[in-house]
Amino acid sequence: MEQRSSSAAADSGWQGEVDDDECNAGGVREIQISGGPFVIPPKGAPLERLRRWRQAALVLNASRRFRYTLDLKKEEEKEQIRRKIRAHAQVIRAAFLFKEAGERHPLDVGTPVVLPCGFGIGEEQLTSMTRDHDYSALQEHGGVKGIADKLKTNIDMGISGGDADLLCRRNVFGTNTYPRKKGRSFLVFLWEACQDLTLIILMVAAVVSLILGIKTEGIKEGWYDGGSIAFAVCLVIVVTAVSDYKQSLQFQHLNEEKQNIHMEVIRGGRRIEVSIFDLVVGDVVPLKIGDQVPTDGILIGGHSLAIDESSMTGESKIVHKDQKAPFLMSGCKVADGYGNMLVTAVGINTEWGLLMASISEDTGEETPLQVRLNGVATFIGIVGLAVAGAVLVVLLARYFTGYTKNPDGSIQYIKGQTSVKATVNGAIKILTVAVTIVVVAVPEGLPLAVTLTLAYSMRKMMADKALVRRLSACETMGSATTICSDKTGTLTLNQMTIVAAYVGGEKIDPPDNVKLLSPTISSLLLEGIAQNTSGSVFEPEDGGIAEVTGSPTEKTILSWGLKLQMKFNEIRSRSSIIHVFPFNSEKKRGGVAVHVGGSEVHVHWKGAAELIVASCTSWFDTDGSKHEMTSDQLNAFRKYIEDMAEDSLRCVAFAYRPLELENVPNEEERINWSLPEDNLILLAIVGIKDPCRPGVRDAVRLCQEAGVKVRMVTGDNLHTAKAIAFECGILTDRNVSEPTVIEGRVFRAYSDAEREKAAQKISVMGRSSPNDKLLLVKALRNTGHVVAVTGDGTNDAPALHEADIGLAMGIQGTEVAKESSDIIILDDNFASVVKVVRWGRSVYANIQKFIQFQLTVNVAALIINVVAAVSSGNVPLNAVQLLWVNLIMDTLGALALATEPPTDHLMKRPPVGRREPLVTNIMWRNLIIQALFQVAVLLTMNFKGRSILRLNNDSLEHADKEKNTFIFNTFVLCQVFNEFNSRKPDELNIFSGITRNHLFMVIIAITVVLQVLIIEFLGKFASTVRLNWKLWLVSMAIGFVSWPLAIVGKLLPVPDTPLQELIQRSFCCGKKPSGSTQGPPDHNGNGQGDSNSATSRADHNGNGGGHSNHPDPSHMV
């Protein structure tokens, strides 16, 4: 539910601002982000905004509070290092040219240098030639063929790939890794935990107390007060450091996973997939559009290969590569075409390796929720400091005016009589209590609880086949209102087979019945299949089963060709490729021109069936005779396509046209030559079956129940898309019309306003280009949706970048798509996308559980100590006890509650409004009920405890100690019982799923065991006495009451309007608040609620809504 509010109480003087104007390509639109410094956009936050919230935060331990945030200084340093390395490379190049000009003389043909393993060229020669793009040196070595021979590489078959060969190459030329800066050691985390200002003050106070205590009471008794505080502070430091260190190791592991790219490489004539770190010099690497160039190398051969070198040169210019410009740089991206590369330099010998070794990987990246929690921590901290200051003033005033008494009833301080030592000791004890109140009140661990739950979620999401690249995507996914999903491989299995084929105007049954094909058609069709492909076929020499590699569609078509008795290598050797038009998702087709001998050239096309058929003016009959394409015949072919599409088949057509060699441009002009795509002759139409993934229907239903609309965006025929959407449950009626199902070209032709109106209703978009997907994402975001988008191609990168959450496919996705994404779905499965939504909601829910728990402890501890201090001059909870409570509340509480696994209950709610208050009305209700109960019981015990607990017959000192021990014990047990309540803020059954969270059970057990030890055995340290079994039972009974009390509390209704908004209304004399309470979008994407739904829902994007000029810190609280 989208709730929006402003709270004067939480404002604390933070002023909201209107800034960060952004321009949208789909029409200029100002996006205004308000809400003071503690609200940042989920993507692309400007550095100024990031600086602003850091300056506004009240921080007592900067190194801990800002640990997992972006290091702004490092970001600037990174850019300087990049510039230096680029300049460094230019200097090397310039020095080389200068040296070559001044010292050029014939090569020394004296004693030849013998290189290990029989290689004909050394590491230094290769590295300098590649890094300096030295074309003349390449020619001296005999070009790429000469280099390959010296590296003992066959440019067609690659290296042998045996273990001995690989080891030898690694020893001589190095590995494709770079020295990484070591992660921080445990001692660094220990040091950071020590830097908390409050803990430093407590340590100083403990040392002074220790010295004075030993001087006053002797070493035997005098060290307890100071020693116990020092021990408690050390315990807090160690537990904090251990927790933070483990978290850091998780991030380190996830970061290594991100960098482990898998590449295809040709070894022993076959294509195999290896890790980028396993590549060696001499390897032959096939590159295709969207790949990252994994090492430095030289182009062996390719077609239309264009490289984006902006990551290395800093210039966003696409560079075309051919035999005259063959050098390829590691870290660049393939923008177009394909080709094979010979690896010549790896690891630290490449510019990319130098760059990566110089820049330490920074895992810091603040998320909007983390920043909002810094705002909450700052607000609570201000209140806590104010309260602690007031307690300090009251206690000191009471102490020095003689109102503070010892347990035996004697006055602690009498002017002129009390010694200086005793006075200082008394004042230090008061200061210690005040500082400890600050420790409890300022939740330094609150923002870190976000990173704890995100780290936990990220680790678990890896098991659920989702690799998180950007932390904030985890929490944003909890707010997603719509998912725009690809069809192929995401909703379907990507296990394609050709189940229908029409050749010569007749259906071939079975589709691989070669006897029904005439020699003319068979020859041309197999030539088109073998030459017009980016896939490959490895035919073993022993006549074994051929291995087919490539994209799923290419593999399917090549496999069909093999069944039609295609001899792949033989057919390719009969003709030579002279130009290639790589498959293009905009044009939905790919083409190739091949020279078949003499002056004859064949141009082969394959692609979307209805588009290819529309370009045909002739067709071949089954006997191989050519006929003109009449309108009747065209309609017949279209009917075939429609029938196959109705059966959920993906339709691909093959066509060709002959061309005279004289009509082909010469080699220099060929790079800009557009292959002729008209006057084609139709060869065949095939129907490819790609079945729906098992479980995808349930996953779609789960999304719809959770208020998340699933939309299919595919490049396939609209009929195929509709049939698959019906199978998946995205459509419930086959007979739907526009705009529920729409073609990309129709949507593209709409105006901006029409697109926004139609986008709400779209369930299926067929024949869409990547640009159509981008337009849909923009239209949905403009209407207030939080959009998740799946993508795999290079052209999907803009849509992935524009979406709130970009989901790239791990198997089919290109490196360009992955780099533009926020989360990589490792198994390309839509069910994994739904799991990401569950985890996103879980992150938000877990943080809310922890906040509810922590605020209850804060409020109760503060009120009890303040009231007791003001009324009696003594506090029932001393410094050591409060430090133990802080440990339960902060580190242990975060571990227990922030690691709750997601439940099905989360998917029965609407999406989380991204600007919804962190502390909801339900949480306020639970918090107030529990805090009031604890305060009422414990203050009653504080003032009437001696008579209630029947301690009147004991000495005054012992009775007070026993009463205070009982209060401390009861307070801790109340938190233990309340920790169970916090697990389920809005459910009656607080024990459901408890056995699945082993960490929660362990932490509860540790807390209880340590509490027993403190009370029964560490009395000297904690200033407690042993309690009898009756008092233990009473403490447990009081704690237990919080369970039935929570059940009764959950039956109380709460208003829909957030508490902060109600307070604002009362302060603003009935003035109508800005924004409106807004229901979630329904399954059709239509807003429920008032007519201003688009404006109010715009808050989902973190982009202001109705009240951008008002401060709104309630977005934090």
Report the alpha-carbon distance of residue 1091 to residue 1086 in Å, rounded: 11
Pairing of strands 680-689, 616-620: parallel
- 3-class DSSP state of 270: strand
Q: Please list the residues that pair with 338 across neighbouring strands.
A: 288, 303
What amino acid is encoded at 621 in this protein?
Answer: D
Instruction: Give the residue carrying structure tokens 């306003």.
Output: 753
Q: Which of 132, 283, 291, 486 is catalytic?
A: 486
Q: Please list the residues that pair with 467 across neighbouring strands.
A: 824
> Which residues, at least 6 apart from 800, have a Cβ–Cβ distance to it below 8 Å?
789, 791, 806, 807, 808, 817, 820, 821, 822
- 3-class DSSP state of 1042: helix
Q: In terms of C-beta density within 10 A (0-12 exposed, 13-18 middle, 19 or more buried), how is residue 184 classed?
A: middle
Q: In terms of C-beta density within 10 A (0-12 exposed, 13-18 middle, 19 or more buried), how is residue 293 classed?
A: buried
Whether 524 and 538 have beta carbons less than 8 Å apart is answered as no
How far, in Å, are 264, 292, 333, 822 from residue 817 at the CA level? 17, 11, 11, 10
Percent of the chain that is helix, strand, coil (3-state, to 5): 50, 15, 35
Residue 152 CB neighbour total at 10 angstroms: 16
Whether 980 and 1018 have beta carbons less than 8 Å apart is answered as no
Whether 233 and 883 have beta carbons less than 8 Å apart is answered as yes
What phi, psi does 1020 have (nearest 5°)?
-65, -40
Residue 1025 CB neighbour total at 10 angstroms: 16
Tokens linked to 194? 């020590």
> How far, in whole angstroms, is CA 324 from its chain's centroid?
41
Q: Where are the alpha helices (DSSP H) in 183-277?
A: 186-194, 197-222, 224-259
What amino acid is encoded at 786 in this protein?
Answer: V
Based on the residue annotation, tell me whether 486 is a catalytic residue of this protein: yes
User: CA angle, 276 as apex, 274 and 277 as ends, to 5°?
Assistant: 105
Q: 46: cis peptide before it, omega within 30°?
A: no
State the sign of the Cα–Cα–Cα–Cα dihedral 83, 89, 94, 99.
positive
How far, in Å, are 477, 582, 838, 843, 899 from residue 846 at the CA level? 14, 48, 12, 5, 7
What amino acid is encoded at 429 in this protein?
Answer: K
Q: Please list the residues that pair with 580 across neighbouring strands.
A: 592
Query: Looking at the chain, how many residues does it have?
Result: 1117
Tokens linked to 727? 């199978």
Q: Which of 298, 341, 313, 294 is nearest to 177 (CA)?
A: 294
As a three-state string, the secondary structure of 770-794 is HHHHHHHHHHHHHCCCCEEEEECCH
Tokens linked to 1090? 């008032």
Active centre residues (catalytic): 486
